[in-house]
Amino acid sequence: MVPFLLADIGEGITECEVVQWFIQPGDNISEFDKICEVQSDKASVEITSRYTGVIKKLHYNVGEMAKVGNPIVDIETDSSNELESSLINSEVSPPSPSAQVQSINITEPLISGEKTHTLATPAVRRVAREHNIDISNIKGTGKNGRITKENILNYFYQLFHKTIAKTTHPHIEVVEDKLVPLSFIQKSMFKTMSRSLKIPHFGYSDEYILDDIIASRNLINDYITRNNQFSFNKISFMPIFIKSFSVALKKFPILNACVIDDDDANTAKLKFRRSHNIGIAMDTPGGLVVPNIKNVQAKSIFEIASDIRRLQEAREKNAIPPNDFQEGTITLSNIGNIGGTSLSPVIVSSEVCIAAIGKLQKVPRFEDVKDEVTGQLVEKVVGKHVIPVSFSADHRVIDGATVARFSQEWKNLLENPILLSAELR
C-alpha cells in the first residue's frame, strides 16, 4: 500500500485547501486519473494519480488544509514499492529549488585531535582533514590495518550519498514496464546532449578562498560610488572572475581553442583563438541563455562590468542581439545564486572547456595563526569564504594536468589579488 504524497506545488506554498475529491475509498484508480482539486491562494490545481490500484483512504475532508509533502491518499497497488512525489503535480515543474535543494554540507564533527592510535601516513591524514572527516571513524584496509586514501574517499562518498538521500527526493522506482514519450525539456536536452556526447569529458574540482577578493571588491565598489563616471553602481564578483580567468588563460591558450575536422584523428586540428570571448550564463524569463563578452583579454574589469550591465539591460527587454551569442571561445557559468557545490557542467560543442562556480559559503578551515601570547604559530579554526569551482574539459585534446594547473593559476590570482595587477601591461 502506497501513501501518495502531495507534491510541492512551488512558490513556497506549504499547504493548500482540498476543494473537491474525484474519487472515494474503494474506487479503482488508474495512473493519470484525477484524484482531487486543491486550491492555494490564486491557483486551482488538479492532482492526478501516479499509480494504478484501489483507493484505500482519503487523508483529508473537503475544506481541510492538506500539507505539502504529506500523504493525501493511500492507494493499494499490486506491488508495494517506494513512492515518489509526482513531477507532474508541481505547479513549477520541475520542483523549484526552495527548501528541498540546498548545497550539500557533509556534517561530520570537526577533528579535535587525531594524533591517536589510528595508523595513517601524514598525507592520508591531510586528506581526511581536507574533507573534514574524523579519521578515527574510518576502518583501514591497508597493510597492518593502515587507513589508506581510498578508505577516506569511500567513507566521504558514502556520507555524501546519505546526505543527498536526506535532502532530495527518493529515487524513482518503476512499478511496471511503461512507454512514456519525452517531455519538452527532455527532448531538447536529448538533442543537445547527443551533440556534446562526441566530446569525452573529464572533470576537475577545487575550492577557492575568496576572502581577499571580497575585500578587494568592496574597495572597488567604494571607488565606484565615489566616482560617478560609471553606468553601474557596483560590481558583482563576475567581472573580477572573468578578468582573472582571462589572465590565467593566457598561460594556457589550449583551453581557449576549438577542435575542427574532428571526424578522424588524422584530420583533426586545434584552432587556437586569440580573443577570449567568455560566455556567461544568464537567466531570463525565457530560460537560460549564454551570451559572451568579447575580447576580455583587452578589457579592464570596469569595461567588463559595463558589458555585463549592457547584457542585463538587453535581457530585461528580451533583446540581446544575435552577435552576442556568436563566437564564444570558452564558458564560465555562475550558479552560485541558486546553490550547489559539486558540479559537472557540459562543454559547449564548439569549445573545449567550461568552468562552473557554485555557491559562496563561509566554512571553517585550519590556518596557522600567530598566537598573541606565545608568539608561536598555532593551528586555529578560522572562518573562510570558500567557493567551489568545477571544470569540464575535452579529453581528446586536453589532459588533466593542464586543467589542474590552470585552476591553480586562476586560484592563485583570486586568492592573491595583488598578482592580478602584477600582470598589468
Partner 1 sequence: MRPLFPPLLVRNIIIKSRTSQQFSRFFSSDEISSRDLVFKCFISKSMDPWTNIAFEEWLFKDTNPQEIILFLWRNNSCAVIGRNQNPWKECNVRLLQKHDIPLIRRKSGGGTVFHDIGNTNYTLIMPRIDFTRKHTAELVVRALTTRLDIPAYVTERHDIAVNGLKVSGSAFKLVMRRAYHHGTMLIDTDLDRIKRYLNVERQNLITKGVESFPSPVTNLCNYSSTVSHESFCEAVKDYFTEYYRDYVNHGSNKSATTVDEEFISNIPKVAEYREEFKTWEWVYGQTPDFTHKFEKEFEWSHVKALFESKNGIITAITLTPSNIKYHNLINALEDSFEGRKYGDEKDIDNALNDVRVSEQLSGSNIGGTSISTSEMQRVVNDIGKWIKESS
Positions marked catalytic: 395, 399
Using CB under 8 A, pick the residue from 231, 312, 342, 408 that binds partner 1: 342
Q: Of residues 24, 41, 228, 379, which one binds partner 1 by CB under 8 A?
A: 41
- Which residue among 71, 279, 388, 417 contacts partner 1 (CB under 8 A)? 279
Torsion of CA 325, 326, 330, 336, to 10 degrees: 0
- Of the candidate residues 333, 387, 406, 417, the single one contacting partner 1 (CB under 8 A): 333
Determine if 289 is a binding residue for partner 1 (CB under 8 A).
yes
- Neighbour-count burial of 114, counting CB atoms closer than 10 A to its CB (0-12 exposed, 13-18 middle, 19+ buried): middle
Which one of residues 88, 197, 219, 377 is an interface residue with partner 1 (CB under 8 A)?
88
Select 318 or 376, whichever has its Cβ closest to partner 1: 318
Nearest distance in Å: CB 43, partner 1? 4
Answer for the pair 403, 392: CB distance below 8 angstroms, yes or no.
no
List the one residue from 6, 7, 152, 348 that touches partner 1 (CB under 8 A). Answer: 348
Cα 420–391–197 angle (5° rounding)? Answer: 145
Nearer to partner 1, 147 or 330 (CB): 330
Is position 205 an interface residue for partner 1 (rule: CB under 8 A)? no
Based on the shown chain and the rule CB under 8 A, indicate whether residue 137 belongs to the binding site for partner 1: no
164 binds partner 1 (CB under 8 A): yes
- What count of Cα atoms within 13 Å lies in the side-chain half-sphere of residue 357? 23
Number of residues that make up the chain: 425
Is residue 162 involved in binding partner 1 (CB under 8 A)? no
Regarding 287 and contact with partner 1 (CB under 8 A), the answer is: yes
Name the one range near partner 1 by CB under 8 A: 37-45, 205-213, 248-256, 407-415: 37-45
Nearer to partner 1, 55 or 104 (CB): 104
CA-closest candidate to residue 184, choices 88, 118, 294: 88
Does 157 bind partner 1 (CB under 8 A)? Our answer is no
Nearest Cα residue to 108 out of 124, 132, 125: 132
Q: According to CB under 8 A, which one of 45, 242, 280, 304 is a site residue for partner 1?
A: 45
Q: Count residues binding partner 1 (CB under 8 A).
A: 78
Decide: is 91 part of the binding site for partner 1 (CB under 8 A).
Answer: yes
Choose among 229, 110, 205, 131: nearest CA to 411. 205
User: Under 8 Å CB-to-CB from 253, ≥6 apart: which residues?
Assistant: 272
Contact present, 329 and 278 (Cβ < 8 Å) = yes
The three cell numbers locating residue 411? 586560484
Q: Is the dihedral of CA 55, 61, 62, 63 positive or negative?
A: negative
- CA-wise closest residue to 412 among 297, 240, 253, 244: 244
Q: By CB under 8 A, is residue 116 in contact with partner 1?
A: no
> Where in 218-257 is the site for partner 1 (CB under 8 A)?
none
Kindly state whether residue 14 participates in binding partner 1, applying the rule CB under 8 A: no
